[in-house]
Structure 1
């Protein structure tokens, strides 16, 4: 891969700060997930709190995408990044005072999810505005690798911090991880968007227009399909790993750290392998690979339900991490490249609606069903549904290749 985007000092600074920031966001989510388990010992509550973390993206993500096309992008990024740090600090204070309960945690999870759902499309929309047009394709690929690797490595870091320190220390680390992005944003000078900001039509009209653009473009439709299925099943399970590590395998915080590290290792290796590719791949090749990885990730869920061995589970978790990274990077790259500047934020908002919203619904399904029956049965049933959806979507897409 030609790394011409790295010739930009602004992009190098942003890339490093973004990795640290996204890692911190996911470290904080791990702490919230662990609190939801230790406060209740209920897989359903883990799923509910995880849903609250992601629900704002499900319901408001597309509207925040429209907002990203209309606001001063640098000011919006600074504001939302600062709010994330403040909410992390509030969680830490409540924990240190010993007053944190599941209801307070739920409110904080919802607020954190709301702020994060605004922060993500704004940050991703900023990327094409800090590199030359010649380096745009490479920058989009690199930031896709960066963002998706960080959102899978982050939970691994959070799990290790929980194991080696305590929730208070882990929250403190997450707060510190928000600072590099605040510093980097102060130095960035984004260029003016081509065509300016999006037309001041109604928000609903802009969403409809972006949706039509996605539906009319076969590449974008396939990218959204892959994103949705992967988000619901393999990644939906990853959001309730506290219930898997301690509820199913009785491994406690140490086990959570190990299985999250396995997920992160798979994600990191996937990101590195994409970076080391010798040639640029076309959309068709990227999406064909993604269908294979999507099927592998959903199949791993089924196998985890069948073979209840801890070390096998770690290997399967690594496979899910790799699957999530390969599919998300391919889909996000296609979404960014195939969308004009004026509507990029709206399109990213819709992609996040499928990606993060799918995580929310998947976590709710895995957590609720595990409490109603058992985790192994849940893995078998939902994993099999994911495999079926992956195969059907692949057969439908293959007609247009």
Structure 2
């Protein structure tokens, strides 16, 4: 389960990420609560718009951010993005503490954070391949998810208590200090132990990532499924905060719901770390499980029952997303990994600007339970799309080891062929095109 910890650089990175992620979850909780209770009178639509502004830049800037992740030193890029996010957290805390914060200002900060995150996320995702070898990549991705959800287990609960005791503004300032852990980890990494990246030869074009994904129907299916869940299913700040208010809970009750959600999420991430590789069929099954779990949460009669249902919601969501991420990482050409991961992140986070305002509006007009039912429906549609493609492509019944098996026909000579590289691809992609045997 923890085999990637045998690598010094990954151990250091993991520790820094846990501390930084705890702060990020604290800020996310505080931001949602400030918008919902201080800047508006329980307006879920305003929260949906805040989320839309924060998650729109990854979608709009996807071609640039992916290219940057492939072309430049990822360690230095992360030090830059983490430093900028730390300064934004300090500014947010000061404005909230001084009473100057307004809803338009919060919208502006959400957009600014989204722009920085648009560059940070694909670099962070691709940086894993710089720290561990390919055979450990799926495990490292799952442990990253475990780090993220360990932080989700701690951060929202701590934020809820701090909001009650000292106020929301201090939560943003505490988050700013946690960035020092990530910056410190990046500073002590051993660059000479990084996994060598494919050398760039000749031209390197932004469009290569799009063309690569277009020629991979399995990735297209994953991207469609991830978009549906990202747009309509992953709006937990809206669901949890408005359900907490419905059950008469305060900021501490809202923070506790986010932490309970993380129990299932952490379990899903750790189980994913035990698997030898990511499989597409598990992505499909987890999408269906997410739909069932959301359906159960929509029907929850009490706060306790709703909280318990979130364990299943978190487990299914992280199982699907961690497996999808691992599949993309381990099956993508190394020369294009940054650009393809930028597309993945853009589709996952970029769905929020589409779905969050809709979900927030539904929650305001027809109640939170109706919005949760929409999320469940989106998950069932995603599961149906994945199942249909697997049936049509024959993947549903394909032996798990078939892709690694070579069957020889004695009546035909064995030949080695090289994949043709279309002229529209850059020299960089051509240089990494593998030689393979015919099936």
The answer to which of 387-396 and 57-66 deviates more is 387-396
Are 2:325 and 1:332 aligned?
yes
The answer to which of 225-234 and 158-167 deviates more is 158-167
In the alignment, the residues of structure 1 paired with residue 297 and residue 269 of structure 2 have an alpha-carbon distance, to the nearest angstrom, of 24
Are 2:368 and 1:367 aligned?
no
**1:101 corresponds to which residue?**
102
In the alignment, the residues of structure 2 paired with residue 99 and residue 202 of structure 1 have an alpha-carbon distance, to the nearest angstrom, of 44
Question: Where does the alignment leave 5 or more consecutive residues of structure 2 unmatched?
Answer: 396-439
Out of 257, 261, 264, the residue aligned to residue 263 of structure 1 is 261
**2:197 corresponds to which residue?**
194
CA distance 1:158–1:120, change in 2 (3 Å): farther
User: How far has the Cα of 1:145 moved from its partner?
Assistant: 4.0
Higher-Rg member (1/2)? 2
In the alignment, the residues of structure 2 paired with residue 156 and residue 61 of structure 1 have an alpha-carbon distance, to the nearest angstrom, of 33
CA distance 1:221–1:296, change in 2 (3 Å): same
CA distance 1:8–1:393, change in 2 (3 Å): closer
- Note the alpha carbon deviations across 1:16-67, whole angstroms, 9 max, x for none: 1122223322321221111110110211101111111211112123421211
Are 2:82 and 1:89 aligned?
no
The answer to which of 45-54 and 294-303 deviates more is 294-303
In the alignment, the residues of structure 2 paired with residue 138 and residue 379 of structure 1 have an alpha-carbon distance, to the nearest angstrom, of 31
User: How far has the Cα of 1:195 moved from its partner?
Assistant: 2.5
**1:23 corresponds to which residue?**
22
In the alignment, the residues of structure 1 paired with residue 201 and residue 52 of structure 2 have an alpha-carbon distance, to the nearest angstrom, of 31
CA distance 1:150–1:288, change in 2 (3 Å): farther
Pairing of 1:336-351 with structure 2 (within 5 A): 336-351=329-344
TM-score, normalisation: structure 1: 0.88
CA distance 1:15–1:381, change in 2 (3 Å): closer
SS in 1 for 2:349: helix
Out of 290, 312, 323, the residue aligned to residue 305 of structure 2 is 312
TM-score, normalisation: structure 2: 0.81
**1:172 corresponds to which residue?**
173
Are 2:83 and 1:58 aligned?
no
Pairing of 1:1-400 with structure 2 (within 5 A): 1=1, 3-38=2-37, 39-41=39-41, 42-132=43-133, 135-147=136-148, 150=151, 154-155=155-156, 157-163=158-164, 165-190=166-191, 191=194, 193-197=196-200, 200-203=203-206, 205=207, 209-246=208-245, 248-275=246-273, 277=274, 280-281=276-277, 283=278, 286-400=279-393
**2:436 corresponds to which residue?**
none
In the alignment, the residues of structure 1 paired with residue 290 and residue 174 of structure 2 have an alpha-carbon distance, to the nearest angstrom, of 30
In the alignment, the residues of structure 1 paired with residue 90 and residue 319 of structure 2 have an alpha-carbon distance, to the nearest angstrom, of 33
In the alignment, the residues of structure 1 paired with residue 341 and residue 329 of structure 2 have an alpha-carbon distance, to the nearest angstrom, of 8
Does the CA-based 8 Å contact 1:28-1:171 persist in structure 2? yes
Does the CA-based 8 Å contact 1:266-1:320 persist in structure 2? yes
SS in 1 for 2:71: coil
Does the CA-based 8 Å contact 2:156-2:256 persist in structure 1? no
In the alignment, the residues of structure 2 paired with residue 195 and residue 228 of structure 1 have an alpha-carbon distance, to the nearest angstrom, of 29
User: How far has the Cα of 1:108 moved from its partner?
Assistant: 0.8
- Note the alpha carbon deviations across 1:185-234, whole angstroms, 9 max, x for none: 1122443743324864443x2xxx22232233344233323322222233
In the alignment, the residues of structure 1 paired with residue 353 and residue 313 of structure 2 have an alpha-carbon distance, to the nearest angstrom, of 17
In the alignment, the residues of structure 2 paired with residue 268 and residue 175 of structure 1 have an alpha-carbon distance, to the nearest angstrom, of 24
* Bigger share in helix: 1
In the alignment, the residues of structure 1 paired with residue 154 and residue 388 of structure 2 have an alpha-carbon distance, to the nearest angstrom, of 32
The answer to which of 377-386 and 94-103 deviates more is 377-386
CA distance 1:160–1:316, change in 2 (3 Å): farther
SS in 2 for 1:178: helix
The answer to which of 152-161 and 67-76 deviates more is 152-161
In the alignment, the residues of structure 1 paired with residue 201 and residue 304 of structure 2 have an alpha-carbon distance, to the nearest angstrom, of 50
Number of aligned pairs?
390
SS in 1 for 2:224: helix
In the alignment, the residues of structure 1 paired with residue 342 and residue 106 of structure 2 have an alpha-carbon distance, to the nearest angstrom, of 26
Does the CA-based 8 Å contact 2:264-2:311 persist in structure 1? yes
CA distance 1:365–1:153, change in 2 (3 Å): farther
- Note the alpha carbon deviations across 1:284-326, whole angstroms, 9 max, x for none: xx32222222112223333333334222211222222112211
User: How far has the Cα of 1:93 moved from its partner?
Assistant: 0.6
- Note the alpha carbon deviations across 1:140-193, whole angstroms, 9 max, x for none: 443344346646765455445435553133223211221111011112244374
